[in-house]
Amino acid sequence: MTDPNQSDNWWQAFFKGPWESIQLEGYPDARTRTEVDFVLAALEVVPGSKILDVPCGAGRHSIELARRGFMPTGIDFNAAAIAVAARQAANEGLPCEFIAGDMREIDFAEQFDAAICFFGSFGYFDDDDNLKYASRVARALRPGAKFLIETHVAESLFPIYRQRSWLPIKEDPPLRVLEDRHFDIDTGRIHTKWTFVSNDGMSESSSSIRIYTYRELCSLLKQAGFSSFRGYETGKLELFGLGSARLSLVATKYRSLMN
């Protein structure tokens, strides 16, 4: 059963709602550095490489990549997040490009040596638009370049699935989030109602993510223009398997996609 209250464009309200302030406040630098360590090890790219980060949010991964000698381009629909990213990069004199735009409409042709979609940012759309996004990324990459998608898939999510859970976000001032989840077996989507609780009261938002199996995700990426796949448990260079915490799937582009 689908959620009749769930908008197809839920992500527009979600990332400009209560979650926006959390995102724009940033995450611990140590966490970002550790994540970028893993990304670079999985992608096997060298400094000077051009890396596409889409969606990039407030640009924390792009900025850390630039600090290490890479040439990142970050894209996100949220102009407020892009402004924060561009301001920080300018303050540090880093060679980052940040663009406000729809991730399904990126328009590059064989310009990048790698691409990343990190921190559960895949599966927002229906299957056709998820494929469109992946195809646009493939077109943007040079032949043989790699695309890393970090996400949950069925094999990582369902062993720990709970219909309701509390998540502490901040301690000072305190902020907690209650997640109420419903998995729709007909669409393969997980609908979540988020209730943000702080000293100032409560606010609500919602999300809807397509949960692919590992095989389904590889199949979609193959349609998009990728030919080989290697799954790692996020944060480790260990092969992904049933019960792994999260998936980081590295897909390699096999041919030029100029159309």
Q: Where do the structural domains in the chain lie, given as residue ranges?
A: 10-153+212-253, 157-209
Confidence of residue 173 (pLDDT cuts 50, 70, 90): confident
Residue 73 has pLDDT above 50, yes or no: yes
User: Which CATH fold would you assign to the domain 10-153+212-253?
Assistant: Rossmann fold (3.40.50)
8 A C-beta contact, residue 118 and residue 148: yes
CA distance linking residue 47 with residue 65, whole number of Å: 9
Neighbouring C-beta atoms of residue 101, cutoff 10 Å: 15
Calculate mean pLDDT across residues 138-158.
Answer: 98
Confidence of residue 25 (pLDDT cuts 50, 70, 90): confident
8 A C-beta contact, residue 217 and residue 208: no
Q: Please report, as a single letter, which amino acid is at residue 220.
A: L
First-last CA distance in the chain: 37
pLDDT at residue number 1:
39
The H-or-E segment that residue 164 falls in is strand 164-171
CA distance linking residue 76 with residue 116, whole number of Å: 13
Provide the mean pLDDT of the chain: 94
Residue 258 has pLDDT above 70, yes or no: no
Tokens of 107: 């328009």
CA distance linking residue 140 with residue 150, whole number of Å: 19
pLDDT at residue number 77:
96
Most confident of 163-172, 185-194, 197-206, 247-256: 185-194
Q: How far is CA 54 from CA 62, 97, 159, 258, in A?
A: 10, 12, 28, 20
